[in-house]
Amino acid sequence: MFRAIVRISSAVALGVLAVVVGLASIGLFASAASSTPADRVPMLVGGAVLGALCLGLLYASGRIARERSPKSSVDADGKVRMSIDVPDDDPTYAAVRSIVEKHVHTLALEKRSRLVPDKYGVLDFESWDREADMFIERVAMPHVRATVSPKQYERSVRRLMKRVRRRTPNADPNEVVRAVARAVIEREVVAHEAELNLRVVTAACQSPDEFEEWCASELRALGWDARVTGQAGDQGVDVRAVRNGIVLVVQCKLYSQPAGNGAVQEVFAGKSFYRAQLAAVVSSSGFTKSARAIAQQTGVVLLTPAEIRDRFR
């Protein structure tokens, strides 16, 4: 809603500016008609420049007013592949978003419990994919059919298909709608996870040292003998924990931006130094794509603060 207000306000402001510039252009043309020949040419040129500027501002205003929220599309096999645009006020999109927002906390918990690395450190997305697809079929689509009129739904589908068919002529309309629903789920769940993580961290920690101690205390609550290394030359390890002969090393990142691959590389090196069986990075703001790629290769577990108890209980 806030983004829509900002977008509309920007479009209106540009439109008003275009009107002002347009009036100035008309004024110059009117003055040129009654001016001397020596002054007429500069006035005509100035009027033409202002007229062109007016048209440019009107075009920009229209583009901003029609700006869409990025969503996802599908290819012929029904998988989410490419990006299409869905208007924020589209009734089908609005219905999907409202039902996802209603259940976003449950969806986030399901994703957290299902998206767990296997013994090789590789994330298995199949369980979460099945859960998301089940939600779409049993909850989202029935909600759309119950709240969106057939005419509105048909109009939404036609609008979507115009965009999708430019790249995927054989796309199935129902799969396109499901792909939009899946994109909404992923976006809202990620945003909710980030909000939960921020609440957890900001409630307990004000500095990196406090965050390290907080992570250690979370592990101690799960039965680990966890201690903050708290020393120079810690080999990229902030917390060392032991339970039942298993050694776990953790690097803790209280960042405002996603943690990068450097954190993964450091704790992986620390794993060898401390002769640990497990290594993890806990980040308050998630991880970059490259960090996730290296984590899969090295077996390092990537966690948000809210996931510590689920992963190491």
Cβ–Cβ < 8 Å for 54, 28: no
Cβ–Cβ < 8 Å for 22, 48: no
For residue 149, what pLDDT is reported? 92
End-to-end CA distance of the chain: 39
The model's pLDDT over 267-282, given as tens digits with 9 standing for 90+, comes to 999 999 999 999 999 9
CATH 3.30.830.10, domain 205-312, yes or no: no
Looking at the chain, the number of H-run helices and the number of E-run strands are 12, 7
CB atoms within 10 A of CB 12: 13
Question: Each residue's pLDDT tens digit in the chain (313 positions)?
Answer: 445 565 666 767 767 777 777 787 787 777 777 777 777 777 777 777 777 777 777 777 676 665 544 444 433 333 434 344 566 778 888 899 999 999 998 898 788 777 665 666 566 788 888 999 999 999 999 999 999 999 988 888 888 777 766 666 677 778 888 888 888 888 888 778 767 766 666 666 778 888 899 899 989 988 999 999 976 656 889 999 999 999 999 999 988 788 999 999 999 999 999 999 999 999 988 889 999 999 999 999 999 887 887 788 7
For residue 203, what pLDDT is reported? 66
User: Partners of 83 in the beta sheet?
Assistant: 72
Q: Where along the chain do its domains lie? A: 2-65, 69-203, 205-312
For residue 103, what pLDDT is reported? 93
Q: Two tokens at 157?
A: 């589908």
Q: Give this prediction's pTM.
A: 0.45
The model's pLDDT over 141-156, given as tens digits with 9 standing for 90+, comes to 999 999 999 998 888 8
**Gap between the Cα atoms of 202 and 196, Å rounded:** 10
